[in-house]
Amino acid sequence: MTTNLSLEGRKKAAFDHARAGRFEDAANLLLSVLKQAPHDLGSLLLLGDVRHAAGKTQDASRAYTAAMQAMQLGNGQVAPGYQQGVQRAQARLAEYARGYDAFIESELPKAKRSKRFDQSVDILLGKSGIYLQQPTKYYFPGLPQIQFYDTSEFDWVSGLEAKTADIKRELMAVLSDHAAFKPYLERDNSQPNVKSHELVGNDDWSAFYLWKDGERVEENCARCPVTAAAFDNIPLDRLPGQAPSVLFSLLKPGAQIPPHHGLINTRLICHLPVLVPGPAWLRVGNEVHHWQEGKVCIFDDSVEHEAKNEADQTRVVLLFDIWRPELSLQEREEVTKFLGAISAYSGEKVVSGN
């Protein structure tokens, strides 16, 4: 019986069965081989081919997927004899994915899906990953994983948006002073710069602060009185000596902020786009937001995010941080005291840096 053959003998017999169109016999032999050698790339690829030829595309997809996983376990190295098989498997997996996508679209059209459900479908289809809060310094558990917040849930948003024209006039006056903006990521030569990247000390991404490290910058507030007064009724996350920060954040044409995570997850970052001369975007997790002048966006920066100004002119947003609304007053007080104590002990500001 063929099942008494060696592994190589069964693989050869399976190939002969496949060539003769005896697909089920070939599949059974290959499955017996894979019981003993589950990472055998050649057998997995041939099993996918056999299942595909038999019209069993779901079984073929499983076999091809297992082949891709086996290939990755082998550090992605593919022996020359298997390269065409791997390319064929990848092409068929893409074909199956398109078919699956078309099926889902026919059952639940994208135009009729809710936003969160649509994200779940993209994750299932492998079009998007799962992005979670990963703050680099302090994590507060139990908070919802929301990338962009619905601004209609914040009663101060409409009032701030109504001041956009006045805020823009103040911004334009500041922009006429080329020395007013400083690099957002300042280089600290007294400390190691192991994680330094090209934006450190670079004014492609620069800032003009109204509040910095929890303190009003009185000189700058005097230059922008309407903008400074706009925050009187906004729930800024007040951490003495550390937060909030309120600033005009400037991105030069073509400048890109690489993917990164924020420091803590007890705050949200807010943008009021004041100067958006062309295409510019912010990605948070698996959502991409295109800034629109005068339209606030609110997001969780502890989720991986990046941004780019694709316009040929400068983009500026008014950036500030607020308490997450899910935190109770007691929790806010606890976080404030705790982060303050850490800062006093270590001599470093938990909410500063990048």
115 vs 334: which has the higher pLDDT: 334
**Quick check: 251 and 280 in contact, CB under 8 A?**
yes
CA distance 23 to 336: 67
**Quick check: 249 and 207 in contact, CB under 8 A?**
yes
CATH of domain 2-107: 1.25.40.10
CA distance 83 to 65: 15
**Quick check: 241 and 215 in contact, CB under 8 A?**
yes
In this prediction, residues 337-343 reach a mean pLDDT of 91
pLDDT in tens, 149-208: 999 999 999 999 999 999 999 999 999 998 899 998 776 555 544 454 576 767 789 999
pLDDT at 6: 85
Residue 94 vs residues 65, 67, 90, 97, 125: alpha-carbon distances, Å: 11, 14, 6, 5, 11
Beta bridge partners of 90: none
Where in the chain are all domains bearing CATH 2.60.120.330?
151-346
If we measure between CA atoms, which residue out of 109, 106, 71, 105 comes closest to residue 87? 71
In this prediction, residues 248-256 reach a mean pLDDT of 96
pLDDT at 346: 82
Cβ count near 280 (within 10 Å): 24
CA distance 241 to 131: 31
The dihedrals phi and psi of 336, each to the nearest 5 degrees, come to -60, -50
Transcribe 50-73 into DSSP letters.
Answer: HHHHTT-HHHHHHHHHHHHHHHHH
Contacts of 236 (CB under 8 A, 6+ apart): 211, 243, 244, 246, 320, 321, 322, 323
pLDDT in tens, 277-333: 999 999 999 999 999 999 999 999 999 999 999 999 999 999 999 999 999 999 999
Decide: pTM greater than 0.85. Answer: no
If we measure between CA atoms, which residue out of 89, 90, 124 comes closest to residue 104? 124
If we measure between CA atoms, which residue out of 239, 257, 208 comes closest to residue 350? 239
- Give the right CATH number for 151-346 from 2.70.150.10, 2.60.120.330, 1.10.150.120, 1.20.120.1200: 2.60.120.330
Percentage of residues of the chain with pLDDT beyond 90: 70
pLDDT at 1: 44
In this prediction, residues 42-71 reach a mean pLDDT of 93
Q: What are the E-state strand segments in 239-279?
A: 246-251, 256-260, 267-275
**Quick check: 189 and 132 in contact, CB under 8 A?**
no
Where in the chain are all domains bearing CATH 1.25.40.10?
2-107
